[in-house]
Amino acid sequence: MRKKVLVLGSNFGGLIPGGGTTDPSSGASADPGAAGGGVASCLVYDPASLPMMDVVFDGTVSAVEGDQVTFDVNEGWKGADGSITLMAPDENVALTGPVPDFEVGSRYLVSASGGTINACGYTLDYDADTAAEWAAAF
């Protein structure tokens, strides 16, 4: 099983799968300007955490306008069907961890919390094997 991580940082809402919040005593500053910049705080990726996200789906990008990304949902596992528009996370990888570069016509596996796309392993370029893992989580 591949290991990936979930980021907790700017524009992520402090969600930790399972309902917790970020722990300020973890060493990562809540102030992205502290000590010259922020540091992403990540948890190990686990598809079993997907049902705890607000929105989880396989979708194709139909529009990108600023930080708003609209998807046509191919398969919605939770909270999505038809078309959905979500806010892209902060572009600072040090704060959010990796997230795909969303391109119109490209397909992705997407999760979101609080209307913002999750980063750092919980939103990925589409591949059938990972899609099967995500589907099995539901």
Q: What is the C-alpha to C-alpha distance for residues 37 and 8, in angstroms, rounded to an integer?
A: 15
* Residue 82 near residue 103 (C-beta atoms within 8 A): no
Instruction: Say what the pTM is.
Output: 0.69
pLDDT tens digit at each of 138 positions of the chain: 444 444 444 334 434 333 333 333 333 334 443 334 555 566 678 999 999 999 999 999 999 999 999 999 999 999 999 999 999 987 665 555 678 899 999 999 999 999 999 987 899 999 999 999 999 999
Predicted pLDDT at 9: 40
Across 50-77, b (16+ Cβ under 10 Å) vs e yields bebbbbbbbbebeeeeeeebbbebeebb
**Would you give the end-to-end CA distance of the chain in angstroms?**
17
Domain range list for the chain: 5-136
Q: What is the pLDDT of residue 121?
A: 82
So what's the pLDDT on residue 31?
A: 40
Pick the CATH number of 5-136 from 2.60.40, 1.10.3470, 3.90.550, 2.40.50: 2.40.50
Query: 76 is written with which tokens?
Result: 């919605």
